[in-house]
Amino acid sequence: MKTLSIMYVEDNTELRDALTEMLAGPGRAVAAFATGEAALAAWEAGAPDLLVTDIGLPGISGTDLTRIVVAKKPAQWVALCSGYEYGHHVATLGKNVRTLPKPFELEQLEALIDEVNEALNLP
Protein backbone atom coordinates (compact mmCIF):
# COMPACT_ATOMS: atom_id res chain seq x y z
CA MET A 1 0.00 0.00 0.00
CA LYS A 2 1.42 3.37 -1.02
CA THR A 3 1.59 6.01 1.65
CA LEU A 4 0.29 9.52 0.97
CA SER A 5 3.12 11.93 1.76
CA ILE A 6 2.03 15.27 3.19
CA MET A 7 4.22 18.29 3.88
CA TYR A 8 2.70 20.80 6.29
CA VAL A 9 4.13 24.33 6.67
CA GLU A 10 2.90 26.50 9.55
CA ASP A 11 4.84 28.99 11.69
CA ASN A 12 2.44 28.76 14.66
CA THR A 13 3.93 25.97 16.79
CA GLU A 14 0.70 24.96 18.56
CA LEU A 15 -1.32 24.84 15.34
CA ARG A 16 1.48 23.00 13.50
CA ASP A 17 1.73 20.37 16.24
CA ALA A 18 -2.03 19.90 16.52
CA LEU A 19 -2.70 19.62 12.79
CA THR A 20 0.31 17.39 12.23
CA GLU A 21 -1.12 14.99 14.81
CA MET A 22 -4.56 15.16 13.17
CA LEU A 23 -3.13 14.55 9.70
CA ALA A 24 -1.10 11.54 10.78
CA GLY A 25 -2.72 8.16 10.42
CA PRO A 26 -2.68 4.90 8.53
CA GLY A 27 -1.49 5.34 4.97
CA ARG A 28 -0.07 8.81 5.59
CA ALA A 29 3.38 10.22 6.27
CA VAL A 30 3.43 13.82 7.53
CA ALA A 31 6.45 16.11 7.72
CA ALA A 32 5.99 19.52 9.36
CA PHE A 33 8.02 22.69 8.88
CA ALA A 34 7.98 26.15 10.48
CA THR A 35 9.35 28.06 7.47
CA GLY A 36 8.97 28.10 3.73
CA GLU A 37 12.74 27.85 3.33
CA ALA A 38 12.95 24.62 5.36
CA ALA A 39 9.96 23.20 3.49
CA LEU A 40 11.45 24.11 0.10
CA ALA A 41 14.75 22.39 0.97
CA ALA A 42 12.86 19.25 2.01
CA TRP A 43 10.58 19.48 -1.05
CA GLU A 44 13.60 19.61 -3.35
CA ALA A 45 14.97 16.46 -1.67
CA GLY A 46 11.67 14.69 -2.39
CA ALA A 47 8.36 16.26 -3.36
CA PRO A 48 5.37 15.14 -1.27
CA ASP A 49 2.04 14.14 -2.75
CA LEU A 50 0.39 17.11 -0.99
CA LEU A 51 1.86 20.38 0.26
CA VAL A 52 -0.32 22.14 2.85
CA THR A 53 0.99 25.62 3.65
CA ASP A 54 0.00 28.71 5.54
CA ILE A 55 0.25 31.81 3.36
CA GLY A 56 1.66 34.14 6.03
CA LEU A 57 5.08 32.72 6.83
CA PRO A 58 8.29 34.46 7.85
CA GLY A 59 10.68 34.65 4.88
CA ILE A 60 9.26 32.86 1.85
CA SER A 61 5.46 33.16 1.96
CA GLY A 62 3.24 30.17 1.32
CA THR A 63 2.17 31.77 -1.94
CA ASP A 64 5.79 32.16 -3.10
CA LEU A 65 6.56 28.60 -1.98
CA THR A 66 3.62 27.42 -4.07
CA ARG A 67 4.81 29.38 -7.13
CA ILE A 68 8.30 27.86 -6.82
CA VAL A 69 7.19 24.24 -6.43
CA VAL A 70 4.46 24.42 -9.09
CA ALA A 71 6.96 25.96 -11.54
CA LYS A 72 9.18 22.92 -10.99
CA LYS A 73 6.37 20.36 -10.77
CA PRO A 74 3.15 21.66 -12.41
CA ALA A 75 1.05 18.72 -11.15
CA GLN A 76 1.99 19.34 -7.48
CA TRP A 77 -1.03 19.26 -5.15
CA VAL A 78 -1.08 22.28 -2.81
CA ALA A 79 -3.50 23.56 -0.19
CA LEU A 80 -3.03 27.24 0.70
CA CYS A 81 -4.35 28.14 4.15
CA SER A 82 -5.06 31.68 5.32
CA GLY A 83 -7.40 33.77 7.39
CA TYR A 84 -7.32 36.43 4.66
CA GLU A 85 -9.09 36.70 1.32
CA TYR A 86 -7.18 35.05 -1.51
CA GLY A 87 -8.51 36.92 -4.50
CA HIS A 88 -8.71 35.46 -7.97
CA HIS A 89 -4.96 35.00 -8.47
CA VAL A 90 -4.99 31.58 -6.76
CA ALA A 91 -6.53 30.05 -9.87
CA THR A 92 -3.44 31.07 -11.82
CA LEU A 93 -1.03 29.22 -9.49
CA GLY A 94 -1.74 25.73 -10.78
CA LYS A 95 -4.41 23.20 -11.66
CA ASN A 96 -3.97 21.30 -8.37
CA VAL A 97 -3.79 24.31 -6.05
CA ARG A 98 -6.69 24.59 -3.61
CA THR A 99 -7.51 26.98 -0.79
CA LEU A 100 -8.57 26.36 2.80
CA PRO A 101 -9.80 29.49 4.58
CA LYS A 102 -8.74 29.64 8.24
CA PRO A 103 -10.24 28.55 10.44
CA PHE A 104 -11.16 25.48 8.44
CA GLU A 105 -12.89 22.34 9.57
CA LEU A 106 -10.88 19.14 9.61
CA GLU A 107 -13.53 17.68 7.29
CA GLN A 108 -12.56 20.26 4.62
CA LEU A 109 -8.95 19.12 4.76
CA GLU A 110 -9.99 15.46 4.75
CA ALA A 111 -12.10 16.11 1.63
CA LEU A 112 -9.03 17.56 -0.08
CA ILE A 113 -6.95 14.56 0.99
CA ASP A 114 -9.62 12.28 -0.46
CA GLU A 115 -9.45 14.24 -3.74
CA VAL A 116 -5.65 13.84 -3.85
CA ASN A 117 -5.87 10.12 -3.02
CA GLU A 118 -8.39 9.63 -5.80
CA ALA A 119 -6.32 11.60 -8.32
CA LEU A 120 -3.19 9.61 -7.42
CA ASN A 121 -5.10 6.29 -7.33
CA LEU A 122 -4.20 5.69 -3.69
CA PRO A 123 -6.41 3.65 -1.37
Q: pLDDT (tens digit, 0 to 9) for every residue of the chain, 123 residues total?
A: 688 999 999 999 999 999 999 888 888 999 999 999 999 999 999 999 999 999 989 999 999 999 999 999 999 999 998 776 666 666 678 889 988 888 888 888 889 999 998 998 876
Using DSSP, state whether 4 is helix, strand or coil: strand
Q: pTM for the full model?
A: 0.92
Which CATH number belongs to the domain containing residue 19 in this structure?
A: 3.40.50.2300
Asked whether the beta carbons of 113 and 104 are under 8 A apart, the reply is no
Domain count of the chain? 1
Q: Residues near 79 by Cβ (< 8 Å), separated by ≥ 6?
A: 50, 51, 52, 53, 97, 98, 99, 100, 109, 112
Closest CA relative to residue 23, chosen from 118, 92, 116: 116
Which structural domain range is residue 71 located in?
Answer: 4-119
Q: How many CA atoms lie within 13 A of 23 on its CB side?
A: 25
Closest CA relative to residue 28, chosen from 119, 107, 116: 116
